[in-house]
Amino acid sequence: MTEVSRRTPRDVQRALFQRREIALIDVREEDPHAHSHPLFAANLPLSKLELEAPIRLPRLTVPIVVFDGGEGLAKRALTKLTELGYTDVALLDGGLRGWAAGGGELFQDVNVPSKAFGEFVEARCHTPSLDPKQLRAFFDSDATVVVLDARRFDEYQTMSVPGSISVPGGELVMRARQLVPDPDTQIVISSGARTRAIIGAQSLINAGVPNPVAALRNGTMGWLLAGETLAHGEARSFEPKFDDKVRVEAAAQSREVAERARVGRTTRDEARRWADEATRTVYRFDVRTPEEYAAGHIPGFRNAPGGQLVQETDAFAPVRGARVILADHDGVRANMTASWLAQMNIDVYVVEGVTLADLVETTMPPVRNAIAPPAADEIDPAELQARLKEPGTVLLDFTSSVNYAKRHIPGAWFALRSQLADAVRAFPDAERYVATCGSSALARFAAPEIAALTGKPVQVLAGGTQAWIDAGLPLEHGETRLASPTIDRYRRPYEGTCSSRETMSAYLEWEAALVAQLERDGTHGFYVI
């Protein structure tokens, strides 16, 4: 039997200190990950490994260290990653308990490096903020104030400060001058909690926007806790087109900010050469809006809107020590985003001289080292509908629990692939199983595992649940027939409107305490300009 490779917590910490490439991967589902993990541990669940690893870990020789909380998932993940072609995979010695026993700091929640960085920025830069009572006083006195919401548009639509305008964080420096041309108008940046408001406000300050700027303290959560009412379903947004004079001014100031942050410079050709090399992990991101990206982008670049890239750096670029290359066509968004990544101790470069003529690709770039799914016996939606009316067929849905609750095929059972051995016990007796998910991409990987566990024939729904929907067939809603716990999704207190006051207050207290945790951890290398 081949001996399993292991790396100690101290070895991992040493790699982080020295800025050597390392991917510390938590292979549990998102909810247990959110309850406890090292600072730079990226969540890549075992259940989705074949689909996500080629995108998030693009270099097969990257050093990977996997861990779990003692559930036995890490060993399975090591085997799977090795089968996928990764050549330097090890277990974290002692797993999560070993990290803690070795004196390693443990963090809660998701996207923690970015959130901790936001608190670090506020503490070091003394980013101005207004509490909800102060903002209410502005509203009541008819003072000139504009509230810009720095989250994704869908988050803004869920709940927002009344009268605010959606301007996702990466767009702020580009759009603020156009939306608020009077330099005497107070600009307030809002978010769900703290991070994106802090980074958004400090972005405008760093870029020299002449207006008084402040973050809304504790965002929409703080607004609710102050007894205020949130708006729902709002659609105010920035105008997609921008004034060229404003753009030129914003580009000059953004570049100056990036220079102060020691951002590197590169070209399209050099970026492509770097991506083709086998000696360094390279991520290439187009930081413009999804709509702009879909209309045309530089070949080989994936979309990561600037504000979300700063907010979810661990998800987009989980290899710590990798090279990150950013592009836009305006000279503003890539430079501002890069300035923040550089301060997060990331080796980041901006592509110089991009023009509209360079944005020739309109499809997603191919995934290097993508894994072909296993062959499957497929069944079409009409045949499945007929089969489900008869006894003997059980439908298993491997989509996310959030999507499952929104809509699923009547009679389907929700299951997590990583929990399949336990889920099988909850399934009713069947002569055959049918597997599905949104597109059936994940279902095709689950099908042979179902067959091995049950000894029964397994088919896959061709085109997945989306094909069922496209055929106009009926749907069901809610958390019905759960064969697995819904631990694939951590329920973020700042994403909805049903969190209790106690939950929101505890979350905000946790965020404020992150700076002290960073000091105890010591591996981050963050700085501010």
CATH number of the CATH domain containing 433:
3.40.250.10
Q: Kindly state the DSSP code that residue 382 receives in the 8-state scheme.
A: H
Antiparallel, parallel or unpaired: β 432-436 and 458-461:
parallel
pLDDT band at 209 (very low <50, low <70, confident <90, very high): very high
* High-pLDDT (> 90) share of the chain, %: 93
Task: Count CB-CB contacts under 10 A for residue 239.
Answer: 9
pLDDT above 80: residue 496: no
Question: What range defines the domain where residue 225 resides?
Answer: 117-235
Q: Which of 152, 162, 138 is nearest to 220 (CA)?
A: 162
As a whole number, the mean pLDDT across the chain is 96
The one-character DSSP state at 69 is S
Q: Is the pLDDT of residue 143 over 90?
A: no
Residue with tokens 């973020």: 492
Residue 338 has pLDDT above 70, yes or no: yes
Q: pLDDT digit string (tens) for 431-460?
A: 999 999 999 999 999 999 999 999 999 999
H-helix or E-strand spanning residue 43 = strand 41-43
Could you read off the pLDDT of 76-105 as tens digits, one per residue?
Answer: 999 999 999 999 999 999 999 999 999 999
- Final residue before a domain boundary, out of 327, 358, 389: 358
DSSP state letters, 263-282? -EEE-HHHHHHHHH-SSS-E
Does 141 share its domain with 93? no
Which DSSP string do the residues of 318-363 spell out, in sequence order? -SBT-EEEEE-SSSSHHHHHHHHHHHTT-EEEEE-S--GGG--B-S
How many domains is the chain partitioned into structurally? Answer: 4
Confidence of residue 467 (pLDDT cuts 50, 70, 90): very high
Sheet containing strand 393-397, edge to edge, reads 378-379, 458-461, 432-436, 393-397, 413-414
Side-chain-side CA neighbours of 190 within 13 Å: the count stands at: 29
Q: Is pLDDT above 60 for 417?
A: yes
Same domain, 219 and 281: no
Q: What pLDDT shows up at residue 495?
A: 74
Q: Is the model's pLDDT at 497 over the cut of 80?
A: no
Residue 524 is assigned to a structural domain of this protein: no
pLDDT (tens digit, 9 = 90+) per residue, 21-35?
Answer: 999 999 999 999 999
Q: Are 322 and 283 in contact (CB under 8 A)?
A: yes
Query: What is the mean predicted confidence (pLDDT) over 363-387?
Result: 95
Average pLDDT (256-277) is 97
Supply 120's token pair.
């670090």
Gap between the Cα atoms of 50 and 66, Å rounded: 15
Residue 248 placed within a domain: no
Rounded distance, CA 491 to CA 34, Å? 9
pLDDT exceeds cutoff 60 at 1:
no
Average pLDDT over residues 182-209: 97
Contacts with 16 (C-beta within 8 Å, 6 or more apart), sequence order: 22, 40, 320, 523
Determine the pLDDT at residue 240.
86
The helix or strand, by DSSP H or E, that contains position 166, with its residue range, turns out to be strand 165-166
CA torsion 351-353-358-363 (nearest 10°) is 30
Question: Is 294 part of a structural domain of the chain?
Answer: yes
**DSSP H helical ranges for 184-263:** 195-206, 219-225, 244-260
Nearest one of 143, 140, 206 to 173, comparing CA atoms: 206
Question: Which residues have CB under 8 Å from 513's CB, separation 6+?
Answer: none
Q: Is the pLDDT of residue 498 over 70?
A: no
pLDDT at residue 346 greater than cutoff 80: yes
Q: What is the mean pLDDT of residues 485-496?
A: 88
For residues 150 and 226, state if they share a domain.
Answer: yes
pLDDT at position 494: 78
Distance CA 362, CA 260 (A): 34
Inter-residue contact 204 to 215 (CB < 8 Å): no
pLDDT at position 278, please?
86
Model pLDDT, residue 2: 64
Select from 459, 463, 469, 398 the least CA-distant residue to 434: 459
Residue 244, pLDDT > 80, answer yes
Q: Indicate the SS3 state at residue 110.
A: coil
Question: Is residue 321, in this structure, part of any structural domain at all?
Answer: yes
Does the residue 489 lie in any domain?
Answer: no
Residue 506 covered by a domain: no
Percent of the chain surpassing pLDDT 70: 99
Confidence band, pLDDT 50/70/90 cuts, at residue 175:
very high
Domain boundary among 420, 446, 470: 470
Tokens describing residue 395 = 């439908």
Q: Between vectors from CA 328 to CA 325 and to CA 329, what angle results, nearest 5°?
A: 140
Q: Based on the domain organization, do 154 and 202 belong to the same domain?
A: yes
On whether residue 434 sits in a domain, the answer given is yes
- Considering the domain architecture, whether residues 318 and 391 belong to the same structural domain is answered as no
Longest Cα separation, the chain: 75
419 Cα distance to chain centroid: 23
Amino acid 241: pLDDT: 86
Mean pLDDT to the nearest integer, 522-528: 96
Q: Give first-to-last CA distance, the chain, whole Å.
A: 52
| Final residue in a domain of this structure, among 66, 93, 110 | 110
* Best CA proximity match to 29, nearest among 487, 422, 421: 487
Q: Which two tokens stand for residue 138?
A: 């502005």
pLDDT digits (tens, 9 = 90+) for 66-81: 999 999 999 999 999 9
Domain membership of residue 515 (yes or no) is: no
Is 373:441 a contact under the CB 8 Å cutoff?
Answer: yes
